[in-house]
Amino acid sequence: VGPEALSLWKSKSTFTSFGVFFLQMGWGDLGAFGEPSKETPNLDQMASEGMLFLDFYTANPLCSPSRAALLTGRLPVRNGFYTTNAHARNAYTPQDIVGGISDSELLLPELLKKAGYVNKIIGKWHLGHRPQFHPLKHGFDEWFGSPNCHFGPFDNRALPNIPVYRDWEMIGRYYEDFKIDLKTGEANLTQIYLQEALDFISKQQASQQPFFLYWAIDATHAPVYASKHFLGTSQRGLYGDAVREIDDSIGKILKHLQKLGISENTFVFFTSDNGAALISAPRQGGSNGRFLCGKQTTFEGGMREPAIAWWPGHIPAGGVSHQLGNVMDLFTTSLSLAGLQPPGDRQIDGIDLLPAILQGKLIDRPIFYYRGNEMMAVRVGLYKAHYWTWSNSWEEYSKGIDFCPGQNVSGVTTHTQEEHTTLPLLFHLGRDPGEKYPLSFASDEYQRTMERISVVVQQHKATMVPGEPQLNVCDKAVMNWSPPGCEKLGKCLKPPKSDPKKCFWPH
Amino acid sequence: VGPEALSLWKSKSTFTSFGVFFLQMGWGDLGAFGEPSKETPNLDQMASEGMLFLDFYTANPLCSPSRAALLTGRLPVRNGFYTTNAHARNAYTPQDIVGGISDSELLLPELLKKAGYVNKIIGKWHLGHRPQFHPLKHGFDEWFGSPNCHFGPFDNRALPNIPVYRDWEMIGRYYEDFKIDLKTGEANLTQIYLQEALDFISKQQASQQPFFLYWAIDATHAPVYASKHFLGTSQRGLYGDAVREIDDSIGKILKHLQKLGISENTFVFFTSDNGAALISAPRQGGSNGRFLCGKQTTFEGGMREPAIAWWPGHIPAGGVSHQLGNVMDLFTTSLSLAGLQPPGDRQIDGIDLLPAILQGKLIDRPIFYYRGNEMMAVRVGLYKAHYWTWSNSWEEYSKGIDFCPGQNVSGVTTHTQEEHTTLPLLFHLGRDPGEKYPLSFASDEYQRTMERISVVVQQHKATMVPGEPQLNVCDKAVMNWSPPGCEKLGKCLKPPKSDPKKCFWPH
């Protein structure tokens, strides 16, 4: 794509809609990325019609912070989606979390809305469930889904079941009104989420309005589920059934865009919020291919994600990119496509990927791997330096909690927090994608590379202004006892007395 | 493809030539199988124009026995490529091996020759280097390559450098006449092997004779090498450079077939003789993707192989097969395509894959995983039962020899030979391709599956007649001191006195 084509879509940019598929799936879960059962024909076709990103990352090895990062274009340590309760701890937004997305953060849908976009979130919001954090207060026009993970069933005494919202109000609760059979894994939620997407796209096409559809569904997150039609159809068991249903749904959404004749005006991106949760494997956990460990860790298995960009007529079919990308780039790239400037009053970590996508350029930029308040590692080019290593504590490990099942790299997958800040562990991810062979500290390659990386890290740390941490305080009183709309349904529950405490984040 | 098409090629079958690319590469080394650098555009294209086999195996986790199995269609324990010197030991054909391929074995080229085929082997023979084992005595018409691995350089006193043959006679020796720079990894051998293949194909096309080309090159086997043009071009280091050169060569060979207009009459298969040698990683070893361990082991990483069938106009482009396949099937399949019957006087383990390739059928057949004289494991459908587990001895492991670097599955990757014959470890390879989660012995699934598998194993063992083991005796006197043709080159060396001993096979 030359400059002419670039200016062509620039002139059309107000007509570019966005679809983002953002869910939990590991790098190795797609046929296109080497899953041996090869059961994702639609995602594989999306890749062959679009561009595969092989070096794409999420902003955090856990869901809430990654989602906040995607929508703000900023690292969780800036947008507040982290904790300072203890060193280097992953944190998210369970039901008793007090915090959430701050009003001072500018979200992608807020910015797009000003440019005439209609924005819908389908699925898990996960940026806080108290009234001030409601997605419709942060730029979305429509919502169908839940504020938290679909855990449960809860007893509605100690823990209420998670509500499902349509727009401003709840319309039921998981397990009560939206069934998930924990024994068989059966639930028809993905079918509902699919229909919501198809309907929204049809409506926007009819009214000729540009849109942003954020399809953030949760079928591959434990408790994993699939609808009856897909149950038992995968070689991979229940998790594979869920993947197959998602794959099928994404195929239907893309075909719908084509049928409506708007696929060339819709930029679609597929990626994941963290690596596969190996702790839930094999029944409820996916695959990070040959990468080390999984969700919760800052090894490649925790943060390197499958990623596909699709935009027929613009992105060359069958493209492959080694651009180091990050979910935060979707913020900046979408703004660029919409002809909007990113906010100038704050640090934005996402970059505009269009030169990589449309012109095959490689933009030099680092990837930072954070766990809570600590920068654990950084990738520059093909090199990755670990400043801290940790899988999880011996105490947890002895209870059977293992983020790296079957994997053990001496001195790397450590069960104590190991500091390497004076002499980082350095890996070459081209020769050693599995992070098994640290470079010799004495080698020229180590010296040369660490000089280069140190400059990047110093600059990053010198300019870092952490946001107010939002994930420090928990209180049972803030749980989903009485969400808006509960009265009409007779589903209001009585909250206990407020008793705010430091949240406990074990890993 | 229906019966009409099937009979169409049957009527043409005398015109079908064969190309087999057989080399050491891991399942995870191809972009099509999820290698993160995605540097195999030609193999990936071969897959997209042909059929990808996702459940394809070699007959042994080591080179010589696998090669003997491919050419005889028989398990190494039948064709003699195993040892009884100790229990469950891998063995091959180093320079001092006394044995080799027996005259009583019928090789694919011997059978094809009778049907008018011209057969050429390019690269490593590895079925014995003494005069009676010469490939031209076993059906090949032409040979360019070496009888053993390209180890060295040797001192020509304790160990002579390995000879390189053209047909009946040696034309030089590795390191002396065919240089490999062990420091930089530079060698132009793959280019020579490529040219040999192109010339042979041109010659056969000109004379309109059907051919069998067995391209068994060794650039990815330690010591790994690549030619100057490819050195330093891969993200993956030297090993990746070698893979890129092989990929490029295979692309050129396929294009040559197309240019000559004979691609529709040439059935081409790409696969590997064992899993990537993780012990040589990262500089000289490849990737087995997410599979467990590597070369030398009977875990999936040791024996599950990348495999692609290519036959434009016959095999539907972009096909994917879950047929359980084995390199021994290439024997039977090639005979079938040539309109020949497999020998009826002996047990053939290979099956005819044509129904799987042309009609998408799935043939129910087991895969046996042998280590030397012991059946370590068996796969039936998606289930794999381990009757014995072993990686290697504690003694070797303590010296740094590790066939499963970074991997450790308790009770599975054992460092002592563990017998499980009364209660095999059972894995479901769909849900758990990494062999990390043995099924509970108490589960219905275990009971039901083991009943089915036991029948298969009993039948296999009851009818097993092991061949005379060829890999028991070693003698320095039989080394490549004075291969035929050495006189002309002044390269004859004086052998020591014969002193036959039991070969020592440590793992």
Alpha helices of A182-328 — where are they, by DSSP H?
189-207, 238-259, 300-303
Across the range B288-311, mean pLDDT stands at 98
A185 and A230 share one domain:
yes
Residue B76 lies in a domain: yes
Lowest mean pLDDT among A5-19, A236-250, A322-336, B215-229: A5-19
| Spatial contact of B280 and B222, defined as CB atoms under 8 Å apart | yes
Q: Directed axis angle between helix A189-207 and helix A238-259, to 10°?
A: 10
B343 CB-contact burial (10 Å; exposed 0-12 / middle 13-18 / buried 19+): middle
pLDDT per position as a tens digit, A315-374:
999 999 999 999 999 999 999 999 999 999 999 999 999 999 999 999 999 999 999 999
Domain count for chain B:
2
Residue-level pLDDT at B13 = 43
Residue B483 lies in a domain: no
| Res. B7 pLDDT band, cuts 50 70 90 | very low
| The length of chain A, given as a count of residues | 507
Mutate: best of A290, A304, A402, partner B, most B CBs <10 A? A290
Residue-level pLDDT at B15 = 75
CATH number at residue B428: 3.30.1120.10
B430–A236 C-beta distance less than 8 A: yes
- A406 → closest Cβ in B239, B322, B434: B434
**Domain ends where: A364, A391, A425?**
A364
Q: Name the residue range of residue A408's domain.
A: 370-463
Q: Which of B498, B379, B470, B350 is nearest to B85 (CA)?
A: B470
Q: For residue B4, is pLDDT > 90?
A: no
B308 and B331 share one domain:
yes
Instruction: List strands edge to edge, sheet with A383-386.
Output: A367-371, A374-380, A383-386, A425-428
What is the DSSP code string of B85-153? Answer: SSTT------TTB-----TTSPPHHHHHHHTT-EEEEEE---S--SGGG-GGGTT-SEEEE-SS-----
Across the range A488-496, mean pLDDT stands at 97
Active site residue A63: yes
Alpha-carbon distance B434 to nearest alpha carbon in chain A (angstroms) = 9
Question: Measured between CB atoms, does A289 come within 8 Å of chain B?
Answer: yes
Residue A307 lies in a domain: yes
Across the range B184-209, mean pLDDT stands at 97
**Domain ends where: B364, B395, B422?**
B364
The dihedrals phi and psi of A53, each to the nearest 5 degrees, come to -100, 120
Q: For residue A2, is pLDDT > 70?
A: no
| Res. A383 pLDDT band, cuts 50 70 90 | very high
B415 and B296 share one domain:
no
Q: For residue B79, is pLDDT > 70?
A: yes
Q: For residue A270, is pLDDT > 60?
A: yes
CATH number at residue B202: 3.40.720.10
Q: What rounded mean pLDDT belongs to chain A?
A: 96
A219 and A164 share one domain:
yes
B224 and B274 share one domain:
yes
- Using a CB-CB distance cutoff of 8 angstroms, which residues of chain A are in contact with residue B289? 28, 34, 36, 289-290
The dihedrals phi and psi of B418, each to the nearest 5 degrees, come to -105, 125
Residue-level pLDDT at B503 = 98
Terminal CA-CA length for chain A: 45
A34–B432 C-beta distance less than 8 A: no
Residue A10 lies in a domain: no
Residue-level pLDDT at B9 = 46
Q: What rounded mean pLDDT belongs to chain B?
A: 96
| Res. A391 pLDDT band, cuts 50 70 90 | very high
Q: Which residue has the tokens 């080497």?
A: A34
B388 and B359 share one domain:
no
| Res. A15 pLDDT band, cuts 50 70 90 | confident
A409–B408 C-beta distance less than 8 A: no
A287–B234 C-beta distance less than 8 A: no
What span, in angstroms and rounded, lies between the C-alpha atoms of B407 and A28?
17
Residue-level pLDDT at A9 = 46
Alpha-carbon distance A16 to nearest alpha carbon in chain B (angstroms) = 30
| Res. A44 pLDDT band, cuts 50 70 90 | very high
Residue-level pLDDT at B113 = 96
Residue-level pLDDT at B3 = 46
Q: Which of B85, B103, B148, B62 is nearest to B478 (CA)?
A: B148
pLDDT per position as a tens digit, B369-406:
999 999 999 999 999 999 999 999 999 999 999 999 99
A201 and A135 share one domain:
yes
Q: Which residue has the tokens 């028991």?
A: B472
Residue-level pLDDT at A13 = 43
- Amino acid present at B419: E
**Domain ends where: A344, A364, A384?**
A364
A388 and A345 share one domain:
no
B330 and B386 share one domain:
no
ipTM for this prediction:
0.94
B374 and B453 share one domain:
yes
A325 and A387 share one domain:
no
Residue A291 lies in a domain: yes
Across the range A169-181, mean pLDDT stands at 97
- Using a CB-CB distance cutoff of 8 angstroms, which residues of chain A are in contact with residue B237? 428, 430-431
- Amino acid present at A364: D
Backbone CA torsion sign across A139, A141, A143, A146:
positive
- What is the H or E stretch that residue A389 is in? strand A388-389
| Spatial contact of B91 and B82, defined as CB atoms under 8 Å apart | yes
Lowest mean pLDDT among A15-19, A36-40, B143-147, B165-169: A15-19
Question: Measured between CB atoms, does A434 come within 8 Å of chain B?
Answer: yes
- Using a CB-CB distance cutoff of 8 angstroms, which residues of chain B are in contact with residue A437? 281-282
What span, in angstroms and rounded, lies between the C-alpha atoms of A279 and A300?
16
Active site residue B492: no
Residue B216 lies in a domain: yes
Residue A502 lies in a domain: no
Residue B318 lies in a domain: yes
pLDDT per position as a tens digit, A69-87:
999 999 999 999 999 999 9
Mutate: best of B53, B283, B290, partner A, most A CBs <10 A? B290
Residues 119 through 148 of chain B touching chain A, CB cutoff 8 Å = none
Question: Measured between CB atoms, does B506 come within 8 Å of chain A?
Answer: no
B349 and B410 share one domain:
no
